[in-house]
Structure 1
Amino acid sequence: MWEFHSGVLGASNPYEGRGETKGLLPNGCGVTVGRAGMVLRGSGRAFLLLQVDAFYASIILFVGRVWDAITDPMVGFFISKTPWTRFGRLMPWIVFSTPFAIISYFLIWHVPDISTGQVMWYLVFYCAFQTLVTCFHVPYSALTMFISREQSERDSATAYRMTVEVLGTVLGTAIQGQIVGKVDTPCVGSPFFFGLTNSSVAMEELNMTHDTGGLTDTRNAYMIAAGVIGGLYILCAFILVLGVRERRESCELQSDEPVSFFQGLKLVMNHRPYIKLIAGFLFTSLAFMLLEGNFALFCTYTLGFRNEFQNILLAIMLSATLTIPFWQWFLTRFGKKSAVYVGISSAIPFLILVVLLDSNLFVTYLVAVAAGISVAAAFLLPWSMLPDVIDDFKLQHPSSRGHEAIFFSFYVFFTKFTAGVSLGISTLSLDFAGYQTRGCSQPDQVHFTLKMLVSAVPVGLILLSLLLFKLYPIDEEKRSKNKKALQDLREESNSSSESDNTELASIV
């Protein structure tokens, strides 16, 4: 399974089972060359390496998700309360979180040579890594608001960031796939399993008799991949810190009364345009994560393209990469709401086509390209619209400043939330349908379920998200008015500061 908004694409071996992806992939570097953040995925594969019982694996995932839900808004609030330094307010968070994130990531894939305590080991470093990635990702995302005050420049920066972010995902996929893909795990013939009343017991017996040397090779491969990706993480963070500078507005030099966490949260969550944007973003993300998370299995089992799915996924990624600049031009020319309608809905006819027609490789590649085009729009546009919401908030609450990180932290939280919901829906649906882990083929119920997960359900969610985006109030006319009002507010603040300085000088 693979995932976009969390920055991961890791379906290099679907025979190993649902959710057993290839770990973490770097998303790129900085605002000018991508995003130097990584988000944990592939936990099921790590559990396989640790040979953790399924019950404890579920506990670890649940606790990790709950902990992540707590840390996202908390980190956003703490960043908003962080004093400015000569390096900025956000950069210190990025600099200090990077080395510890790499260490915790590396230790996740290191299997300790202890008879007891492995579950606690994984739980601690899983939660630690989630927290440290949040400490990087939230300030990194919020940098968009501090590199320029011009809407066009922020939109351009977002487009560059998303373009290279996808390129970073492709690079990470290639590196991870090449290193880990050399360790092959054969599939298991389905007739053997479908004739058993307790296939999970049979799978356990098979895993126990599996060559332990293969497991050792797999662990070594993941450790090597962790080291390589950790090095890329450092490189990306280094480029980001050296290449980007925060700009502080003059009005922020004035001292503000401290705002408590719940007061700031209430202000942000009561802003109606933000709620509507998050709602549309939530369903759009869920639609494409369901599509992306199950497309590899769909290609492998339902369409029968076992040897082609890697190229199909690459076609999606390249299509998304190449069309992000197009959507940047489109939103500049026709507006962001129009770009949302056209971009996100463009995948609907192709998603219907792929399940109605018989297995056809050409049609599958066509759908992959169309999906990439829509993914690019879904990837770019919500992040481009968020700064407009923050500008609108500043006009409605001119005396309350420094909440940018809170806005972005909840955006990051809902990205992770949709990833968890997508994984839960897919796992429960496929389990109910009788999915056989590492099976060479699947029963008819699984084929039907995969068709629903890559076609009917995403189409319904996309239509619902378009309805929510229709209610989003900030159109191009509203953006222009907000831009002029903010400019007037800044000029008034600057003139007030100059007047205060003049009066102070005359008194002295």
Structure 2
Amino acid sequence: MDPSSAKLSLKEKIGYGLGDTASNFVFHSVNVLLLFYYTDVFGISAAAAGTLFVVARVWDAINDPLMGALADRTHTRWGKYRPYLLWLAVPFGICGYLAFANPQFGESGKLVYAYVTYFLLMTIYTAINVPYSALMGVMTPSSAERTSLSSFRFVGAFSGQLLISMGALPLVKKLGEGDMATGFKYTMALFAVVAVILFIITFCTTRERIQTAVEKQDKVSIGKDMLFLLKNRPWVIMVIAAILTLSNAAIRWAVTPHFFKYYVGDDGTTVFWFLDRTSLIMTTGSLAFIAGIFFTGMLSRRFGKRNALIGLTILNALSLLAFYFIPPSAYSTMIVVNAIGSFIAGPTPALVWAIYTDVVEYGEWRFGRGTPGLAFSVATLAQQLGIAVGGGMAGWLLHFYGFQANQLQSESAISGLRTLFSLLPGILALGNGLVLFWYPLTESTVAQIESDLAERRGKLAISNDEPPTKAMLGEAPN
């Protein structure tokens, strides 16, 4: 039977998607709020925070590939990747809370505490998110189903981001009763509990079905696995694109609260329902993003994943650049432009992660070596590197432009905020779109890879005196 018929149940797709909701309850809070928390609440300078974001990625450069290789070599009755969702859900929640716990230390003590808690959080994030990402590659052999599964994943991811956009700052205000430090602490405690519960649901509702070539070759060294990845041209291109994508997103995320507080003039006053200006624009952007995700399948079928991703990336870059020309008084225009750009960007994460599963299968097809955990771990590392570069640049450039927390900003600082919120992310997004022109895998090539691997996996099972499973033969599981 054709691999495209290997359908996953709606329950399993929703369950998998909730895993990224869990991840984003902590991780997106870090991306959007941590620099603001460090500078305006905890009392760390923007430059010191920027350095922290970059230094932490030195450890990630070691930690991420090791985690991927470890996951590829894990053998349990639950599979290779699913167990980590159960084992690490609680540590992930605890570390997310500790990053915003606001202990009463002196200046040096605060900086040490920030380093320790941020390093711990990024380590646990890697240890749970790399297996979670790799899990998508072994749930079904069908590229079309993985594209659908990726859409569910990012509906879950951006639903989490929507809830953070809507609720984080209002909750900080409500739970802190005017004390932002207390508000952040209680808000993150709540988010951490939700994240733990959702990761456990993902563990309970998903299954691993695909046996990759690495199953029979666990003695091959990590170094040789890395060489296989570096020979995988489509994978290398996607890693470069990931760095550019997350750099532009991280810069914008990091300075969003600063931009609206100091440039637009958001003083925390409610402007719609319970939302202030910052929360409202993040909420409408998240809603538009989620709406865009539902067009992923249509765009993929109509243009192919590669072409759709290139077009959407360039259009989104233009929307980012347009923000530079919007005056602070035109808040309604900002909402509209942000919503349009977010809607255009909506399908891109699902397309990217669906393409990652294609390039992993290309590696197995081309080199006879399937390493989903390692491939996804380095892809995750590339994204974290992008976030580090973006977050570091945001902190350093805020300092360079003369930003001073909780003060009236200079003309230079205001100009810097506009650049960081618009021009720099837009330029990086354009660069990402150009890089993707070199991505070589067409839809027909992916279909051929699916067919060849289905046949190869069936022969692998037979050669090891094991009856081929339906998933190995490309058939739908019961």
In the alignment, does 2:291 pair up with 1:329? no
1:246-285 paired onto structure 2 within 5 Å: 246-249=208-211, 255-256=216-217, 258-285=219-246
Given that 1:344 and 1:377 are in contact with CA atoms closer than 8 Å, whether structure 2 keeps it comes out as no
Query: Which residue in the other structure is 2:315 paired with?
Result: 346
In the alignment, does 2:90 pair up with 1:99? yes
Identify which of 393, 399, 404 aligns with 1:425. Answer: 393
Given that 2:130 and 2:376 are in contact with CA atoms closer than 8 Å, whether structure 1 keeps it comes out as yes
Quick one: distance in 1 between partners of 2:154 and 2:316?
Answer: 19
Quick one: distance in 2 between partners of 1:54 and 1:466?
Answer: 30
CA 1:435/1:330 → structure 2, altered by over 3 Å: closer, same or farther?
A: same
1:34-53 paired onto structure 2 within 5 Å: 34-35=19-20, 36-37=22-23, 38-39=26-27, 40-41=30-31, 42=34, 45=37
Given that 1:94 and 1:136 are in contact with CA atoms closer than 8 Å, whether structure 2 keeps it comes out as yes
Quick one: distance in 1 between partners of 2:404 and 2:189?
Answer: 32
Quick one: distance in 2 between partners of 1:250 and 1:405?
Answer: 11
C-alpha deviation, 1:55, in angstroms? 8.7
Given that 2:15 and 2:201 are in contact with CA atoms closer than 8 Å, whether structure 1 keeps it comes out as yes
C-alpha deviation, 1:139, in angstroms? 0.4
SS at match of 1:249: coil
Greater share of helix: 2
Query: Which residue in the other structure is 1:460 paired with?
Result: 427
Unaligned runs of 5+ in 1: 1-27, 185-212, 502-508
Deviation string 1:304-324 (CA, Å, 9 cap, x unpaired) is: 566523211111111001110
C-alpha deviation, 1:490, in angstroms? 2.6
Amino acid at match of 2:347: A
Query: Which residue in the other structure is 1:190 paired with?
Result: none
Given that 1:156 and 1:328 are in contact with CA atoms closer than 8 Å, whether structure 2 keeps it comes out as yes
Amino acid at match of 2:410: P
Given that 1:34 and 1:162 are in contact with CA atoms closer than 8 Å, whether structure 2 keeps it comes out as no
Query: Which residue in the other structure is 1:229 paired with?
Result: 191
Q: TM-score, normalised by structure 1?
A: 0.77
Given that 1:344 and 1:375 are in contact with CA atoms closer than 8 Å, whether structure 2 keeps it comes out as yes
Given that 1:345 and 1:374 are in contact with CA atoms closer than 8 Å, whether structure 2 keeps it comes out as no
Unaligned runs of 5+ in 2: 1-12, 268-275, 469-478
Quick one: distance in 2 between partners of 1:53 and 1:257?
Answer: 46
1:129-144 paired onto structure 2 within 5 Å: 129-144=121-136
CA 1:472/1:494 → structure 2, altered by over 3 Å: closer, same or farther?
A: same
Given that 2:243 and 2:383 are in contact with CA atoms closer than 8 Å, whether structure 1 keeps it comes out as yes
In the alignment, does 2:77 pair up with 1:86? yes
Identify which of 127, 144, 155 aligns with 1:152. Answer: 144
Quick one: distance in 1 between partners of 2:47 and 2:261?
Answer: 28
Quick one: distance in 2 between partners of 1:55 and 1:461?
Answer: 21
SS at match of 2:343: helix
Given that 1:296 and 1:313 are in contact with CA atoms closer than 8 Å, whether structure 2 keeps it comes out as no
C-alpha deviation, 1:102, in angstroms? 2.5
Query: Which residue in the other structure is 2:403 paired with?
Result: 435
Percent identical among aligned pairs is 21
Deviation string 1:171-223 (CA, Å, 9 cap, x unpaired) is: 23444323212378xxxxxxxxxxxxxxxxxxxxxxxxxxxx97xx4443233
Deviation string 1:89-122 (CA, Å, 9 cap, x unpaired) is: 1122221112222333334444557889665555
SS at match of 2:156: helix
C-alpha deviation, 1:464, in angstroms? 1.9
Query: Which residue in the other structure is 2:336 paired with?
Result: 366
Given that 1:346 and 1:370 are in contact with CA atoms closer than 8 Å, whether structure 2 keeps it comes out as no
Query: Which residue in the other structure is 2:18 paired with?
Result: 33
1:355-504 paired onto structure 2 within 5 Å: 355-358=324-327, 359-398=329-368, 400-401=369-370, 403-440=371-408, 442-497=409-464
CA 1:50/1:303 → structure 2, altered by over 3 Å: closer, same or farther?
A: closer
Given that 2:35 and 2:395 are in contact with CA atoms closer than 8 Å, whether structure 1 keeps it comes out as no
C-alpha deviation, 1:292, in angstroms? 3.8
CA 1:78/1:223 → structure 2, altered by over 3 Å: closer, same or farther?
A: same
Query: Which residue in the other structure is 1:127 paired with?
Result: 119
Deviation string 1:281-336 (CA, Å, 9 cap, x unpaired) is: 22232223333433444444444566523211111111001110112321122211
Given that 1:31 and 1:158 are in contact with CA atoms closer than 8 Å, whether structure 2 keeps it comes out as no
Amino acid at match of 1:95: L
In the alignment, does 2:234 pair up with 1:242? no
CA 1:363/1:117 → structure 2, altered by over 3 Å: closer, same or farther?
A: closer
SS at match of 2:441: coil
Amino acid at match of 1:337: R
C-alpha deviation, 1:140, in angstroms? 0.6
CA 1:46/1:361 → structure 2, altered by over 3 Å: closer, same or farther?
A: closer
Deviation string 1:377-425 (CA, Å, 9 cap, x unpaired) is: 3322211210110111011121x33x11111111111111111111222
SS at match of 2:174: coil
Amino acid at match of 1:278: V
C-alpha deviation, 1:58, in angstroms? 6.8
Report the number of matched residues: 439
C-alpha deviation, 1:279, in angstroms? 1.2
Given that 2:320 and 2:426 are in contact with CA atoms closer than 8 Å, whether structure 1 keeps it comes out as yes
Quick one: distance in 2 between partners of 1:109 and 1:460?
Answer: 32
Quick one: distance in 1 between partners of 2:412 and 2:18?
Answer: 44
Given that 1:435 and 1:443 are in contact with CA atoms closer than 8 Å, whether structure 2 keeps it comes out as yes
Amino acid at match of 1:182: K
CA 1:29/1:219 → structure 2, altered by over 3 Å: closer, same or farther?
A: farther
Quick one: distance in 2 between partners of 1:393 and 1:378?
Answer: 22
